[in-house]
Structure 1
Amino acid sequence: MPTSRSIKGVAVSMGLAEGPVHIVRAGKTEVPTWSVREDDLPQEFARLAAALSSAAEELTDRQRAIARQASEKDAEIFAVHRMILQDPSALQTIERLIQEERINAEAAVSKLIERVVGRVNSMEGASVRDYANDLADPWRRVLEHLLQRDQESIAQSEAKVILAAAELTPKVVTFLPRERILGVVTEQGGRFSHAAVLARSLGIPCVVTLPNLLARLEQNMHVTVDGDHGLVQLRPGEQDLNRFRRIAAKRGERRLSMLAYAPEPAVSLDGARLRCEVNIESMRDFETFDVAHTDGVGLLRTEFLYMERSSFPSEEEQYRMYRRVVETMAGRTVTIRTLDVGGDKPLPYFKVPPEPNPALGWRGLRIQLQWPDLFQAQVRAMLRAASEGNLRILLPMVGSLEQVRQARRVIQEVGENLREQGYDVPESVPLGIMIEVPSLLFVLPQVMAEVDFVSVGTNDLVQYLLAVDRDNSWVARLYQPTDPAVMRALEQVATAAKAAGVPCSVCGDVASDPVAAVLLLGLGYDSVSVAPHFVPAIKFAVRRCTVEGARRFVRELLECSTTEGVKQALGRMREQLFEGVDQA
């Protein structure tokens, strides 16, 4: 009898899953090639056109489904994939291969895929593999339609499965309706690729970088997936299954117990409060949580309104959107970040010159200040919506005091113009900045004198502070939010904010860990802003601690000189906070 085997990979999306495997043939496949007579060329072109149409329709359906299940931003990759299929140069290449080499459409599309992947993989820079997959994946859809490999048997059944594939792509993550996907495991994939972000957003347990996975699997083989620790077990025995199921049951019970704390404020045992706000991207996000369980919107990413469009949204479109968010929050604070595009967040209709290092290039506030019309239109919409409730403006990618002052002047001028035009807008709206660029750490007292609040974006701050590209697999292990330098940077920001009487928050991934939230309370942060499903656990942790205990925790962490030391201290605090709560 075959023995159970465990494979260690990289955890991408948390959670446990158990069930039969369905192998998704979404990667490189052997494609039959045959000669085409000249008289049959029109038929091949017609087959190609039909496959393109079917693939585009499939992408549209996937986009709508993911927009409903997750958010419009999560679904944007499928709009990009449709645009890739509309690339005239790619289509001309395929048609030329059919015409000149007299080969079938399948073979021509396959050759295009090989050329695209080969060309991109020859480039230098981060996330090359993920980029190659994003370019090739739409054409693989076309190829599958041509080959008529539409997996009719699995699509027509109602079975729930764990999807396995060579590459982690959006197509794999959305291969079946969400309710039928137990988990996703792949041989290759990036932790920060589009598909990885999509898996996390949909709450699908996911493990990648599993060596020789497909060679070890068989269709319908029973496996278990541990998305917390990056483990996949093949053909688990009865003992293994019983242990796995006990752990899964305990985690389910823990999730339910955490939910009981969602309506309660995050108040420590000695009366200190940490505001728990949420990060959102669209009105659809309001379907995933109860507004009454939050203290406000700590980060409204406005990029979603600009994505999947053929042109920039008008002032009126933006105003209506912001007003709806403000009204929905019913008096609670709504912090709206101005457009943060560029780098890894391009707009399809906004062409920028290629940059050797986009993360350090033209993005965020830098674009807005150099393109004032774009900035002014968004500010006008924000100020008009501010008359409907408690709205704050947040500036991204700020690197200097001059940028803050320039942005404030623009906002003041826009406000004056609106009042002259008869609009009822506030005399002033709170203005804050993201602390992401390390240069600000050296001028914090001056920064605090210029702003009404600050929000630390730990994702980029860690990347810039440690000089680590988190999308680069060669150095990704060095991306450590628990690095002592990061801890000291967080302390510096909180200390400067407290001295100046400026509210401070953290809206990056660090804040989503309940233990880290207690750390932030001890450091003196006023609030955290996280994905809605993290709120209950954070409230649970805060309500089990004291401020004095949190401060002792801070002192212990700041004495650590290594990342491992910080991790161990966090582990000890986790045990204290969740004592009596099963941490399986």
Structure 2
Amino acid sequence: MRGAYGGPRVLLRRLREVMAEPVTAQERLDRIVVLIAANMVAEVCSVYVLRVDGDLELYATEGLNRDAVHRTTMRKGEGLVGLVADEAEPVNLADAQAHPAYSYKPETGEEIYHSFMGVPILRSGNTLGVLVVQNKAHRSYSDEEIEALQTTAMVIAEMIASGELAPPGGGVEPVGRRPAHAGGAPLSEGIGLGHVVLHEPRVVVKNLIAEDSAAELKRLDAALARLRASIDVLLDEGDVARAGEHRDVLEAFRMFANDRGWGRRLHEAVLTGLTAEAAVERVQSDTRARMQRQTDPYLRERLHDLDDLANRLLRELTSPGLGMAPAVAELPENAIVVARSMGPAALLDYDRSRLRGLVLEEGSGSSHVAIVARALGIAAVGQLENATGLVEAGDAIIVDGVSGEVHVRPTPDVERAYADKVRFRARRQEQYRALREKPTRSQDGVDVSLYLNAGLLVDLPHIEETGADGVGLFRTELQFMVATSLPKTAAQEALYRSVLEAARGKPVTFRTLDVGGDKVLPYMSMESEENPALGWRAIRLGLDRPALLRTQVRAMLRAAAGRELRIMFPMVAAVSEFDEAVAVVQRERARLDAHGHRAPTSMSLGVMVEVPSLLFQLDEIARKADFLSVGSNDLMQFLYAADRGNPRIANRFDPLSRGFLRSLRAVARAGAKHGTPVTLCGEMAARPLEAMALLAVGYRAMSVSPAAVGPVKTMLLSLDVAEAASVVEPLIDAEDGPSCLRPALQAYAAKRGLPVEP
């Protein structure tokens, strides 16, 4: 070598000249291998590109038989080249032919070469190919030479990922822009076709080769210092300074940011001739490739931390001071947002008129972000491993919120298939719309009310489109979450009045502010909590901050002047809390009367049954409340102590389990006993099979997402409720047998030909 780090810098400067030449991608690659061989005093330099079929194809060579280009292929894992691709690690051998993985390809003429060094061509941790040098002499390549080859591989990775390289004569496409298919958990029904928008977009590194390595080192050190300082500020100031799980996470983050090994690798990458940004990309890509092959879930989870850290450092390099504050991306038409995780407020930051879908690495069907996605009417898929690593910003993508499948860079036949699927769904929606004027009555004459869950004004036209009986749950917190400051009484009143007007005389049930947990208002000071889902939220916050609750109730009373008003209080755990909330409403009603304001024509005050303690106070609450509404999502998670936002346990328990159905039946019976109407407004009611079970245990009113009205109504019109009850009740009361009744209910539905598939 020409001295430590001298060779790579010279090579990168010459590569920059080649990359600027007006030649084809194949000609550019041919020149690159000649340059590498000359710079490294190697007799052979070859580039193998990973294809979409999993094979590695020889795309360019200096030293081997040129006729072997595009003819020689090997499987991933076959030979030394396949070993490099499979392990995503360099292989350095003085006598390659003695290695058990060696595979002889006679058409290449490589039998005269003994030493071998191969490095993976990586981008975002994904293997795109292999770069190889060989010599006749038995020699081991130095660490500097391995570093030089890895650095050069970054340039080739950009060529492959850009789609410049094309197989001759219609051969198999390189993997860089290959179609990808992955499966996750469906969160919100629908099919979204569009282009990828990364929620925390990676900085695109365009300038790989440095003009002045010393200047790049200074830029890198300054960005590292700013990043570390910003993490220190987060830890030492504000609510985060208090102990808790969130602080532990940031402490680990600070440990990674101050890791000397990480900093050393970044410095070494810059000294090879890369820009500071390219060095960060290079080190993180190598780390991602190694950690993705780990089986230890803890180590794999740390990959997310390191990805986040690298992205923040890139932002510090390109936009100093913004490392800890990525901005929401501007959306193209038909945008599909892809993220590791996301809260409901973050999703609401996006322009919903352009939003078509959501893909998450985490998330469960009952998480709040999934509920908001359903409210927005966008297809969503969660629990998609490495979702952010599979895509690039702008990639074409299809999100199937029914099956949980995601297609990245889909082939034309896949696009056609989904276009047909969209047309089929449109025809089915037409069939559902044809039912909207038909009474919601079962085969044996049981009348059922189907309401909508809503949270934004744009949800209200769905009442007419679906023929729903009204709004069974209006989530008032969404207005607070999209606002930049606490909405004034007048703004709240205007919204509630608009909702009532849009409902055109049909009932609307307003739920008072339900924030806390994962629904955080950025302008409102909230202390961090160890268990926020069980903490200071919903009615607890409203009763402790009476001015907040009074303001909201006052706005509702004014908005409902001359109309019916229905108010529901969330997360009531004791009858006394309902009494306190009712007292607030009565005081506000008396205040408005005293000032001569027109009052609602009627007023009903209800309770959400979602805290298990209320199951043991059903008689008392049913006597006092005007109506009950079961929040099956929270009731389920609290009853089973299973965080619905945790993908490891969110689906561990089934809502059609005997224990949960007994709880739901108890609420329905208490309502019937005291003449108190009962509605179920959780996601459970939106699935036809679960809705069938609810009807069987006594529910006669359900509130669902707009997309669920058609499927649930179609099932109901074919159902004999009394017969279903005669099947379901004994299963619930049984003392033995399987605890989950889903298989038995599916068998009954199949026997009766009931349409229970969503």
TM-score, normalization: structure 2?
0.56
Tell me how far apart the structure 2 counterparts of residues 348 and 424 of structure 1 sit (CA, whole Å).
35
Secondary structure class of the residue paired with 2:711: helix
1:420/1:471 CA distance change after superposition, 3 Å: same
1:154-553 equivalence runs, <5 A: 167=340, 188-191=361-364, 196=370, 199-211=373-385, 226-231=400-405, 251-290=425-464, 293-426=467-600, 429-553=603-727
Residue 570 of structure 1 aligns with an amino acid whose one-letter code is L
Residue 189 of structure 1 aligns with an amino acid whose one-letter code is E
Q: CA deviation at 1:297?
A: 1.3
Tell me how far apart the structure 1 counterparts of residues 349 and 475 of structure 2 sit (CA, whole Å).
27
Kept after mapping to 2: 8 A contact 1:266/1:538: no
2:744 aligned to 556, 569, 577, which one? 569
1:35-50 equivalence runs, <5 A: none
Residue 720 of structure 2 aligns with an amino acid whose one-letter code is T
1:367/1:36 CA distance change after superposition, 3 Å: farther
1:323/1:384 CA distance change after superposition, 3 Å: same
Secondary structure class of the residue paired with 1:290: helix
Tell me how far apart the structure 1 counterparts of residues 740 and 404 of structure 2 sit (CA, whole Å).
23
Q: CA deviation at 1:400?
A: 0.3
Unpaired runs of 5+ in structure 1? 49-89, 94-100, 115-127, 148-154
Tell me how far apart the structure 1 counterparts of residues 346 and 536 of structure 2 sit (CA, whole Å).
32
Tell me how far apart the structure 2 counterparts of residues 174 and 389 of structure 1 sit (CA, whole Å).
30
Kept after mapping to 1: 8 A contact 2:626/2:677: yes
- Correspondence for 2:732: 558
1:25-40 equivalence runs, <5 A: none
Tell me how far apart the structure 2 counterparts of residues 321 and 226 of structure 1 sit (CA, whole Å).
33
- Correspondence for 1:2: 53
Secondary structure class of the residue paired with 2:436: coil
Residue 703 of structure 2 aligns with an amino acid whose one-letter code is S
Q: Per-residue CA shift, 1:368-392, capped at 9, x if unaligned?
A: 1111111112112222233231211
Tell me how far apart the structure 2 counterparts of residues 133 and 462 of structure 1 sit (CA, whole Å).
35
Q: CA deviation at 1:166?
A: 7.4
Tell me how far apart the structure 2 counterparts of residues 270 and 130 of structure 1 sit (CA, whole Å).
57
Tell me how far apart the structure 2 counterparts of residues 25 and 340 of structure 1 sit (CA, whole Å).
25
Residue 522 of structure 1 aligns with an amino acid whose one-letter code is A
Q: Per-residue CA shift, 1:390-423, capped at 9, x if unaligned?
A: 2111001100011111111222122112211112
Tell me how far apart the structure 2 counterparts of residues 399 and 134 of structure 1 sit (CA, whole Å).
41
Pick which of 455-464 and 291-300 moved more.
291-300
Tell me how far apart the structure 1 counterparts of residues 503 and 346 of structure 2 sit (CA, whole Å).
36
1:336/1:209 CA distance change after superposition, 3 Å: closer
CA-atom RMSD, angstroms?
5.1
Tell me how far apart the structure 2 counterparts of residues 107 and 218 of structure 1 sit (CA, whole Å).
17
Kept after mapping to 2: 8 A contact 1:433/1:454: yes
1:452/1:194 CA distance change after superposition, 3 Å: closer
- Kindly indicate whether structure 1 or structure 2 has the higher relative contact order, using CA contacts under 8 Å at least 6 residues apart: 1
Secondary structure class of the residue paired with 2:500: helix
Residue 448 of structure 1 aligns with an amino acid whose one-letter code is A
Tell me how far apart the structure 1 counterparts of residues 593 and 279 of structure 2 sit (CA, whole Å).
61
Tell me how far apart the structure 1 counterparts of residues 186 and 279 of structure 2 sit (CA, whole Å).
36
1:519/1:357 CA distance change after superposition, 3 Å: same
Secondary structure class of the residue paired with 1:505: strand
Pick which of 398-407 and 250-259 moved more.
250-259
Tell me how far apart the structure 1 counterparts of residues 708 and 488 of structure 2 sit (CA, whole Å).
34
Residue 363 of structure 2 aligns with an amino acid whose one-letter code is G
Aligned residues: 503
Pick which of 429-438 and 567-576 moved more.
567-576
Q: Which one has the largest radius of gyration? A: 2
Q: CA deviation at 1:434?
A: 0.2
Tell me how far apart the structure 2 counterparts of residues 177 and 168 of structure 1 sit (CA, whole Å).
18
1:426/1:467 CA distance change after superposition, 3 Å: same
Q: CA deviation at 1:185?
A: 5.6
Residue 190 of structure 1 aligns with an amino acid whose one-letter code is G
Secondary structure class of the residue paired with 2:566: strand
Q: CA deviation at 1:322?
A: 1.5
Kept after mapping to 2: 8 A contact 1:302/1:338: yes
Q: CA deviation at 1:8?
A: 4.2
> Identity over aligned residues, as a percent?
33
Q: CA deviation at 1:180?
A: 8.7
Q: Per-residue CA shift, 1:408-449, capped at 9, x if unaligned?
A: 122212211221111222586211000000001011111111
